[in-house]
Amino acid sequence: MPEKELPRTVSRPVFNTYALTVCALLTALSVVLARVLTLIPAETTRISLEAVPIVLSGLLFGPIPGAVVIGCLFSPFGYNPIFCVPPILYGLLAGAVRRYVTDRPALLRTALAFFPAAIVGSVLWQSMALALVYGGDAKQAFFLAKLVSRSIQFALTGTVDTLIVWLLLRRGALNGVQRRIQVKGGAEHDHQ
């Protein structure tokens, strides 16, 4: 018996109690991945999978819910808004490309949800922000060093993040959530 095909993803953002609940769980997961299950080899370097739940929220619910699922608001080191730009970009971009990625999940399509935000936010913006905060008198040298190290770091973590989300999409792990969104989100799809 063939599997029932998933309805096309709604293109508009989903705002309801179910979306709020799932986004809250994804935010908690992002916090755990960012603060507990993370490697910190240096003061200004942190390796984690915190972008995965942020991107998932964007892919599932759209750009605005994706942008607000950010664990950087819950930091034991205090809140600094300049460090929240990259996670917000992950969620916004994933929400912007959600239909393209979720309708036909492919590895390169899934990478589109990660790598532009990783390059602009995590590599360029965050390197500049770290240089401003920690660079002291050698801000330019600090920025260039961070730019190189973060490029390598996010090439690797971005690849792992992409693979995780692609496998979740490919294996249908998110189909239940997507079906619920279709029903609760008032999707305009065929009832065949």
**For residue range 31-44, what is the model confidence (pLDDT) as tens digits?**
888 878 878 777 77
Please give the torsion angle defined by the CA atoms of residues 181, 182, 187 and 190, in that order, rounded to the nearest 10 degrees.
170
Higher pLDDT, 133 or 192: 133
Tell me the per-residue pLDDT of 135-175, one tens digit each, with 9 for 90 and over.
Answer: 999 999 999 999 999 999 999 999 999 999 999 999 988 88
The residues, any chain, with a CB within 8 Å of residue 107's CB and separated by 6 or more, are: 162, 163, 166
Spatial distance between the Cα atoms of 90 and 69, rounded to a whole number of angstroms: 10
**If pLDDT is split at 50, 70 and 90, which confidence band does 79 have?**
low
60 DSSP assignment: H
| Span of 36-40, 50-54, 70-74, 162-166 with lowest mean pLDDT | 70-74
Q: Is 25 left (phi over 0), alpha (psi -120 to 50) or beta?
A: alpha
Which parts of the chain are beta strand (E)? Answer: 39-42, 45-47
Share of the chain above pLDDT 70, in %: 81
Above 90 in pLDDT, residue 58?
A: yes
| Residue range 119-130, pLDDT digits in tens | 999 999 999 999
Over 90: is that where the pLDDT of 132 sits? yes
